Amino acid sequence: MADAVQNLFQVTVKEFGTVDILVNNAGICPFVEWFDLTEEIWDQVHHTNLKGTFLCSQAASRIMRDHGHGGRIISVSSISALVGGSFQTAYTPTKAGVRSLMQSLAIVLGPYGITCNSILPGAILTDINRDHYQDDQIVARDTQRIPVGRLGNPTDIAGVAAFLASEDAAYVNGADILVDGGLFVNLQ
């Protein structure tokens, strides 16, 4: 994986000259019961969600540091970094790890003008959970718990990512932005 990431960034620098913004968005979330969770599934989820974020963040930040222009690292964590999930026992620790990594990197990379922040999506309808939301009862249950009354969509996340990548967010560093329609504050 490390070789593929290095190649990705070498090609990017060759094509575009530098890296200004990195959005770590790769993630998988197999819904598996705890007693059925295998080491292979655990490793696959951690490899994709956390190790991928580490490798890409390190490669991008080296380019940003060496080019002396600062930059933005934005990682998509999850509301699951804050709360557990009975079918997400492999997933939730990775998203907590992504969140914690961004907080640590905010300290390490801030002096280079590189800001590092996390977006914590709630119930967003994407390919990662499309099968889960095929059940109308699950959709009704989840939307009832969300104060804005709907599941989120990828554009809800994209707007926050665009803000964090912009100069308007130059002083936002080490932050977690929860994008969940109010779900977290309604978990009672």
Active site residues: 78, 91, 95
Token output for 30: 């197999």
For every residue of 37-73, DSSP letters joined together read --HHHHHHHHIIIIIHHHHHHHHHHHHHHHHTS-EEE
Distance, CA of 4 to CA of 123 (rounded, Å) = 31
Residues 6+ apart with CB under 8 A from 170: 115
Distance, CA of 32 to CA of 38 (rounded, Å) = 9
Phi-psi region of 149 (alpha: psi -120 to 50; beta: other; left: phi over 0): left
Q: Using an 8 Å Cβ cutoff, are 76 and 55 in contact? A: no
